[in-house]
Amino acid sequence: MGLLKGKTALITGGTRGIGLGIAKKFAENGANIAFTFVSSVEKAQKIEEELKAFGINAKGYQSDAADFIAAEKLVDDIIKDFGTLDIVVNNAGITRDNLLMRMTEQQWDEVMQTNLKSIFNLSKFAVKPMMKARNGVFVNLSSIVGVNGNAGQANYSASKAGIIGFSKSLAKELGSRNIRCNVVAPGFIVTEMTGELDEKTRELWQQSIPLKRPGSTEDVANLCLFLASDLSSYISGQVINVDGGMLM
């Protein structure tokens, strides 16, 4: 369809799950793709080739989004390599689940650093070229537990709720520069992360979904594509759930 033809998109955590699904969907629609990864160079190189098969330019960057200095270098490198940065999808995230009574300070801090501080870091530096161009889009990945909370996930829920407040503030700050910011809140999506859940837990989740099925990474990617494209040019500061009707 070419909804993003000629655009450059940065996707954090783009080597698996939802992030990889978004990268492929954006590449299919003509966007050049910059994505981040932490460990496997070989895997990143393979993904680069997969994305380039769509006829676009793609490059993986080994960068920790939770590192303030690394985030600045990442944006500078993308501008050098691609010439522009039009779309940022803040997707990188981790879980360190535990009941509050048992949760360690390290478990709290790691989740906050990766899930929330990373969005501050990248948004702060990515907004500069966007303001200069007077155009840009942020799509930030939250979660329905950031809206509703979840037992055993106080750290994860707090980080995802923080993303919502941050994104709404960004939308208000940057709207006059034609820069939009929206939030996608996935529900139960089939990924490597949810694959670690036991069968009983998966069944309980599925029964609480009106559509009676989990979502796919493509379900999330389709919404991100809409929000990143000009089809949503008058939508900003919104939180949209992709959850099969679980929260309504």
What positions carry a catalytic annotation?
Answer: 156
Decide: 1 and 81 in contact? Cβ < 8 Å: no
Instruction: Give the distance, in angstroms, between the CA of residue 90 and the centroid of all CA atoms in the same chain.
Output: 4
Decide: 235 and 35 in contact? Cβ < 8 Å: no
Buried b (16+ CB within 10 A) or exposed e, 129-168: bbeeeeebbbbbbbbbbbbeeeeebbbbbbbbbbbbebbb
C-alpha 184/C-alpha 186 separation (Å) is: 6
Amino acid letter for position 67: D
Backbone angles phi, psi at 40, to 5 degrees: -85, 105
C-alpha 46/C-alpha 227 separation (Å) is: 27
